Amino acid sequence: MIATTGIRNSDWDDWRWQLANSVTTFKGLKDYITITPDEEEAFHRVGERYVFRVTPYYLSLMDKNDPSDPVRLQAIPNIKELDDVFHIDQLPSFYQSEVGSENPLWKEGQTDVSCIIHRYPDRVLFHIANLCATYCRHCSRKVHAGRGSMVSDQTLIDRGIAYIAERPEIRDVLLSGGDPLTTGDNKIEYVLSRLRQIQHVQIIRIGTRTPVTMPQRITSEFCQMIRKYHPIWLNTHFNHPNEVTPEAKLAVERLLEAGVPVGNQSVLLRGINDTVEVMKELVHKLLMARVRPYYLYHADLVRGAEHFRTSIATGMHIIENLRGHTTGFAVPQYVICTPLGKTPLNPDYLIGSGPGYIVLRNYEWRTWKDPDRLDPM
């Protein structure tokens, strides 16, 4: 960990201080880590295309002198972000017209209310902020992140709430951004209270990385407020065991004590968590923090993030070596996002069939014939 000498504990523990003092400049970054010449070049060139921001807390998790540190790789610009290495002629036509501008998946579900994405019939994604405490280099929305085009002002927020209220099929609302928890409690409570007045809204979810990049945000006051609007669910985004710190665990504990279940959605990232050993350590640490591993996402086809993508076989190998080798609910669902929605990717445990039976195998590749009912057509 980077030393935080000279910073008062009361400041360090204040999320507003963390946000206000987030590093956005090269000079500020040099105060925390040793920058290599390659990183310096990348910072300036990549900064012309993508925004940079990282909290002092998240910087403190990095190895000051190791450019390949897994936390550092997620937050510090890399010159590879400028490489548009997609083989466009090999992509479906849906992607060909979009590659080079942004993640084409975000075109799906767009509505005439810019803060609402309505990809699935009974649920919507509701952008209530555009700021993130830390901008992840692998973000699926990195072209938009930090830009003014998705800032949800009060008028836009109200239009989003009206969109939801007018559609009784919507039973589940996911608050997103940016990061919704970069806004104050009053704004969040306004949204929650308005949504709770809509009878057909059953579930409200919050998608936030602040427990990982700025855990100070999960205050007792926030948790006291949020418990008034249950059922509230929260999913966060731990990618590496080094992110499961005492501060992060305290944030999770406060949420759980307020009755908010916490799930985790990791992204499979080359050089960061793309081994069985690292992923197993991560899910074990999450369980010890009472966070349920929920999704392992195959990295999206995003401009400026191709260097993070692994093969599908890498992800399948990880799942194959988790299932049966650790606690069942420690194994996340491996999914890939497509224009059709999230599609599960699973090893095949049903390997054959015959008249009245199926052939199964287990994690050790031992096989078993199990009776299968022959229902009439």
DSSP readout, 294-345?
A: EEEEEPP--TT-GGG---HHHHHHHHHTTBTTB-GGGSPEEEEEETTEEEE-
The whole-number pLDDT of residue 150 equals 44
Residue of 173, 146, 138 lying closest to 297 (CA atoms): 138
Give the mean model confidence (pLDDT) for residues 43-49: 93
> Which of 108-112, 120-124, 309-313, 315-319 is the least confident region?
108-112
The Cα 113–Cα 148 span in angstroms is: 15
Reported as a pLDDT band with limits 50, 70 and 90, residue 339 is: confident
Give the pLDDT confidence of 199-238 residue by residue, as tens digits: 999 999 999 999 999 999 999 999 999 999 999 999 999 9
**96 phi and psi angles, rounded to 5 deg:** -60, -35
Contacts of 178 (CB under 8 A, 6+ apart): 127, 129, 130, 131, 132, 145, 146, 150
Q: What is the CA radius of gyration of the chain?
A: 22
In this prediction, what percent of the chain has a pLDDT beyond 70?
A: 89
CATH classification number, 88-344, choose in 3.40.50.300, 3.30.230.10, 3.20.20.70, 3.40.50.620: 3.20.20.70
Q: pLDDT band at residue 302, thresholds of 50, 70 and 90?
A: confident
Q: By the 8 A CB rule, do 279 and 322 touch?
A: yes
Mean pLDDT over all residues of the chain?
90
- Look at residue 373 in the predicted model and tell me its pLDDT: 78
Domain ranges for the chain: 9-82, 88-344, 349-377
Pick from 76-90, 282-296, 325-339: least confident:
76-90
pLDDT tens column, 102-128:
555 556 678 899 899 998 999 999 999
> Among 62, 60, 69, 34, which Cα is nearest to 216's?
60
The whole-angstrom separation of Cα 270 and Cα 313 is 13
pLDDT of res. 177:
86
Judge contact between 208 and 234, C-beta under 8 A: yes
Q: pLDDT by residue (tens digit) across 181-207?
A: 999 999 999 999 999 999 999 999 999
Whole-prediction pTM value?
0.91
The tokens for 282 are 């991560």
Q: How many CA atoms lie within 13 A of 173 on its CB side?
A: 33
